Structure 1
Amino acid sequence: MEALVAITILIVLMVFGVPVAWSFASVLAFLVWVYDTNTITLLLQGFRGLNSVILLALPLFVLAGYLMQSGGVASRLITFMEASVRGRKSGLGAALVMSSGVFGAISGTATAAVASIGTIMVTPLAEKGYPRHYTSALLGISALLGILIPPSITLILFGVVTRLSITALFAATIVPGLLLMLGLIIFNSIVSKEFLKKAEAERATVKEHAAVSELPQDSFWLSAFKAIPALMMPVIILGGIYGGYATPTEAASIAVIMTVLVGFFVYRTLTWAKLRASVLKAGETTGTIILILLFSMMIGRILVAESIPQDLTRAVTALTENKIAILLLVNVFLIFVGMIMDDVSVTVVIAPLFLPLVTSVGVDPVHFASIVACSVVIGANSPPMAPILYLACKVGKASIHQAISPALKLMFYVALPVMLIVTFVPELSLFLPKLIGAY
């Protein structure tokens, strides 16, 4: 009962706009009072949990994302992706999706992807005929590819709180990420036909054509040549991790160094002022996440000490022991909580709470990580909170009320089926970790 009250307090505080970190602090204070916990011991356990080499990867990947945005890496990736699908009517929308996937393979941050890709692509898409509210919805969903396609900050946090192999978690979500990317491209190619045809009909004069701004129109080979340094980054980062040459933390360091060198000496768009601004933004983002992680670890210690996860397992299995029913129940709950909480909150508090339950019915912990990551994609774009969708609408200069409809369609026809496929076909998540010997 106390755990349910604690979760309710957390949800209510976040709904009323209390900063996430202080919402967690309030829940921690409630649990300490209810269970009369020794706060000194609890603090020591929390700080000991943060004393992890793996966690060093977190600020480094966040910094890499901001540096990609300010150092010209993102724009070269987008130009190359646009050139690779040029000539297809829905090609520009597909370029947005693919750019988000490649961006995620370097930085692992959704917010940086929205800011970087959105500011460059939304206007050309709008002038091509894509409604801004649809583009914002597509951008919001696509940006979450960074959670599934490694490296992923969400999976790093999941690995830290559950003590699972980060390399195995990274490999587990590659196939789900590619499935989501393919689904978004197919959905866009079908839906975009109507408004692109309408836009073409409305262009009556050559003058109107000339008024349409496009992305840089380099040839495919020229754009590919310019994008080589940017495209090599995910190859080196992921190749180093999966080849056993670098840990995720070392790979994150490589990502930062490469982004700085490419920005300064290859693309020459990174300046000391931009570098300083990126470091400050990364510090702010990391500080918030670490504070949430500290409070959540302390909350988790209390819950484990009071056997709350075990009590939850017994309560659910008393209702049903059917594996499919339990997985569907967990899926629904993860999506519901994700509609109210941010991805960090779901990953570090709610997911570990359900881990004993799903493992009791034979679900592999690494497979469960893929399920959680897929649920975050849906939750982060679902009202009332919908933090990524709100950010995408802000960047795309679109009404959130108009964007909700296409966002729901994208989630219902693409993200939700991918989540269900990943849930009930575990080999999609476990094949690669086993193949590379990471699990």
Structure 2
Amino acid sequence: MDLIIVLGSLLIFAILIFSGVPIPFGFLASTIFFAVFQGIDFSFLLPVGFTNLNAVTLLSMPFFIATGYIVSGGSIAKRLIDFVNVMVGRLPGGLGVVAVIVSAIFGAISGAAASSVIAIGTIMIPEMEKHGYPRGYSAALISSAAVLSTMIPPSLAMIMYAFVTEQSVAACFLSTIGPAILLSVFFSVANIVMVRNMTSVQVNPKRPFDQQMKLVSVKFREAFGALLLPVIILGGIYGGIMTPTEAASASVVYSVILGVVIYREMTVRQASFLLRSSVSSTGTMMLMTFFAAILSRAYAMEQIPQLVAEYMLGITQNKVLLLLLINIFLIFVGMVVDMLSGILLVTPLLYPIILELGIDPIHFAAIIGTNLGMGMMTPPMAGILYIGAKTGGVTIDKMMKPTMILILFCSIPVILVTTYWPDLSLFLPRLMGFVK
């Protein structure tokens, strides 16, 4: 009976999300349904939400969100694109490779996929169209590559996972770097293969070696300040100089100075507006976390995670098959909710199972990150595709074929490799001493 009530609460959540109800209120309705039918005193659960919001882990998120807004509103993305374009733009399908690489670099700055699509797509889609790329293809590639922003640290998704599972934020950051690099390579290769059939696509003209080196030097100097931002964030964290929260706050200050003082391409008023805008996103995220924490505690009080674990382990004891079932479940969740909501929703349910299977929680961070990341590209929700379609001025149907190819030949293989080859995600955490 308990599992039926859980399924009912999850069904209510899904129906409300599909109906356009804001996600925090979806969590609230699901919690009320579960508490009423399980006979839980809802007033007892409310303090849990406030207690969870006091977690130190969450302090870095508002600052990383603010950094993403500042970077998206300035010229940092254009400088990164110009530099990478000079380096690899002459390859067949070079501009597509540029989009993938810059998305990865941008992820090391903002940690959010939506910011990546808007900042990079606004510049790259018209440029790719000039070089003969179909607009729908360009929007699909950039939207798909934006998933890298959720995997390259500082990843907001990994901060949320660390919060839910009480793991090290730095270790979770490192866990998705290997899968992200592999996915970047797969996206780049797939792009080159697909572009071969596009006769209209042009490459950058060849330049004499001395002119090329001079141009590389110029573009590197222009992009140096932007390239220094991920160095400050990640170097500060892994060099032991700053905590993730201190690195996040430093990134806000640096990005404002970079846009207003150094590049002088942003006014103080513009920076202030972007910072105020980031507060709205932070508020939504905190409200969602508040209600999700209450729902998670309600599940824990009724031992729902243990019941789910017993049910799945009762299906089969085969670790390979159980991991496959978990992947299918995560992909389904990613198809209907955004990444942060998915982590808040399913991690408490699946965590006892992965511990029972002997899977390292840091390895599971990479598994859940790659699965829910692909879910952002997969209909029916496919939130990142809708943002890409709006940014590129195209309809979703023109993006679907290349997106499905990227999912089939890039995302799914990376998910399987990440799941069944733990060293891909655990090598760096072990190297840094986070995992034995």
Superposed, which structure 2 residues align to 1:283-362 within 5 Å? 283-362=279-358
**Structure 1 outlier segments of 4+, above 4 Å:** none
Superposed, which structure 2 residues align to 1:73-222 within 5 Å? 73-195=76-198, 197-199=199-201, 219-222=215-218
Structure-2 separation of matches of 1:132 and 1:86: 18
Aligned to 1:231: 227
Aligned to 1:406: 402
Structure-2 separation of matches of 1:173 and 1:71: 27
**Structure 2 SS opposite 1:385:** coil
Structure-2 separation of matches of 1:200 and 1:126: 10
Gaps of 5+ in 2: 206-213
Structure-1 separation of matches of 2:292 and 2:87: 44
Question: 1:381-435 CA distances to partner (integer Å, 9 max, x unpaired)?
Answer: 1111100011001101111012112111101100110010000001111111111
**Structure 1 SS opposite 2:200:** helix
1:200 Cα offset (Å): 5.6
Contact 1:149–1:177 (Cα < 8 Å) also in 2: yes
1:164 Cα offset (Å): 0.7
Structure-2 separation of matches of 1:55 and 1:96: 30
Aligned to 1:39: 42
One-letter amino acid of the counterpart of residue 105, structure 1 = A
Contact 2:164–2:347 (Cα < 8 Å) also in 1: no
1:22 Cα offset (Å): 1.2
Structure-1 separation of matches of 2:89 and 2:421: 35
Structure-1 separation of matches of 2:202 and 2:34: 60
1:47 Cα offset (Å): 0.6
Contact 1:71–1:267 (Cα < 8 Å) also in 2: no
CA, structure 1 residues 331+339, in 2 after alignment: closer, same or farther (shift >3 Å)? Answer: same
One-letter amino acid of the counterpart of residue 53, structure 1 = V
Contact 2:93–2:201 (Cα < 8 Å) also in 1: no
Gaps of 5+ in 1: 202-208, 210-217
Structure-2 separation of matches of 1:400 and 1:39: 42
Does 330-339 or 69-78 show the bigger shift? 69-78
Contact 1:101–1:145 (Cα < 8 Å) also in 2: yes
Aligned to 2:376: 380
Q: Check if 1:21 corresponds to 2:24.
A: yes
Superposed, which structure 2 residues align to 1:235-254 within 5 Å? 235-254=231-250
**Structure 2 SS opposite 1:160:** helix
Question: 1:223-271 CA distances to partner (integer Å, 9 max, x unpaired)?
Answer: 0111111111111211111121111111101111110111112111121
Structure-1 separation of matches of 2:134 and 2:286: 38
Q: Percent of aligned positions with the same letter in both sequences?
A: 38
Aligned partner (choices 53, 56, 61) of residue 64 of structure 2: 61
Question: 1:332-382 CA distances to partner (integer Å, 9 max, x unpaired)?
Answer: 111011111111111111122111112211111111110111012210111
CA, structure 1 residues 79+200, in 2 after alignment: closer, same or farther (shift >3 Å)? Answer: closer
1:88 Cα offset (Å): 1.8
Structure-2 separation of matches of 1:143 and 1:356: 31
1:52 Cα offset (Å): 1.7
How many residue pairs are counted as aligned between the two chains?
A: 424
Contact 1:71–1:260 (Cα < 8 Å) also in 2: no
One-letter amino acid of the counterpart of residue 200, structure 2 = K
Aligned to 1:262: 258
CA, structure 1 residues 115+200, in 2 after alignment: closer, same or farther (shift >3 Å)? Answer: closer
Structure-1 separation of matches of 2:78 and 2:202: 27
Contact 2:172–2:365 (Cα < 8 Å) also in 1: yes
One-letter amino acid of the counterpart of residue 352, structure 1 = P
Does 31-40 or 139-148 show the bigger shift? 31-40
One-letter amino acid of the counterpart of residue 75, structure 1 = K
Aligned to 1:204: none
> What's the TM-score once normalised by structure 1's chain length?
0.94
Q: Check if 1:425 corresponds to 2:428.
A: no
1:277 Cα offset (Å): 2.1
1:37 Cα offset (Å): 2.0
**Structure 1 SS opposite 2:196:** helix
Contact 1:66–1:112 (Cα < 8 Å) also in 2: yes
One-letter amino acid of the counterpart of residue 372, structure 1 = I
Contact 1:158–1:369 (Cα < 8 Å) also in 2: yes
Contact 1:118–1:396 (Cα < 8 Å) also in 2: yes
Contact 2:32–2:42 (Cα < 8 Å) also in 1: no
